[in-house]
Amino acid sequence: MSALIRAVGFSVVMILAFAAVTYVLPQVKGEAPEEEEVNLGELTIDSFVAMGEKLYKGKGTCTLCHNNLGRAPDMLTFDVHAASLQRIADSRYQGQAADVESYLRESMLEPSAYVVEGFGKKGSDDAESPMPAVDQPPIQLSGIEIDAIIAFLQQKDGNPVTVALPSGDAAPVVESESTAAAPVLAQNAEEAIAKFGCAACHAILGSKSPVGPSLEDVGQRLQPQQIRISIIDPKAEIAQGFPPIMPEFPNMALAELEMMVQYLSQQTGSQP
């Protein structure tokens, strides 16, 4: 009997120990997409872009592969407009698109029309894309949803949005918010600095905030590339003596980033 008790006790302790491991891991829940009605009549280009961003990061599951892990080009890190024009002109391009909008649509519906070098299916010599057509299951984006993503990809780098707003009666769209506001693109570096609230913590544009290191002489201390990294990944290097509280700016457009980098690298502290 004692052998039985010891064996059972040992087994139960082991089982509970394995269960305990699940408690120390991050508790993430994966919700299934829910359908929402969107009143197309109330859509503005800004809310359409916001819907596109949400679809890009949500139902479209684009970020599952298009991220910094190297499975597919991370489209948030380069100018999609310029890259699209280059690809259309590339001799390897097999599609029919003549402009950026139609290229982006084609790349979602027929991903193999152009495969970025090194990202093709194994053994296909970059002739076949592993990306599924987004209008087919399991992603199943509607035409309006695809247009919204195109609008987002165009707008994120400050390029003109050429997609026409959908018209007609209410249509079901998954994971969308018609009232969500799209970020308004800053026109110059000062606007960008104000938009992202840099002066709340840093000394810049008249602010003398001591929370973060002064930006008035940042051009003297850091190279442009270091400034760029500090904005993209604030936690990559923490300035000595300052708390690591600077947030990331996932909604910052590439154009805004570059304007700020250029502006800040000129801040050498010698200005009046």
Distance between CA atoms of 93 and 110, rounded to whole angstroms? 12
Distance between CA atoms of 178 and 44, rounded to whole angstroms? 9
Q: Which residues in the 8-37 window bind other proteins by CB under 8 A?
A: 8, 10-12, 14-16, 18-19, 21-23, 25-33
How far apart are CB 36 and other proteins at their closest, in Å? 15
Per-residue binding letters, 135-174, with other proteins (x by CB under 8 A): -xxxx-----------------------------------
Considering only the stretches 50-58, 64-72, 81-89, 160-168, report the one whose residues sit in contact with other proteins under the rule CB under 8 A: 64-72
User: Using omega within 30 degrees of 0 as the cis cutoff, is the peptide bond preceding 138 cis?
Assistant: yes
Give the nearer residue to other proteins in terms of CB position, either 28 or 89: 28
Q: Does 232 bind other proteins (CB under 8 A)?
A: no
Nearest to 149 by CA among 270, 229, 41, 61: 61
Distance between CA atoms of 37 and 52, rounded to whole angstroms? 15
Q: What is the DSSP letter of 72?
A: B
Give the nearer residue to other proteins in terms of CB position, either 102 or 140: 140
Per-residue binding letters, 249-268, with other proteins (x by CB under 8 A): --------------------
- Cα–Cα–Cα angle for 76, 106, 118, nearest 5°? 55
Q: What is the DSSP letter of 190?
A: H
Query: Which residue bears the tokens 């961003």?
Result: 53
Q: Please check whether residue 225 is in contact with residue 242, taking contact to mean a CB–CB distance below 8 angstroms.
A: no
Give the nearer residue to other proteins in terms of CB position, either 64 or 184: 64
Q: Does 5 bind other proteins (CB under 8 A)?
A: no
Q: Where on the chain is the footprint of other proteins (CB under 8 A)?
A: 3-4, 6-8, 10-12, 14-16, 18-19, 21-23, 25-33, 61, 64-65, 69-71, 118-119, 122, 130-132, 136-139, 233, 235-238, 243-245
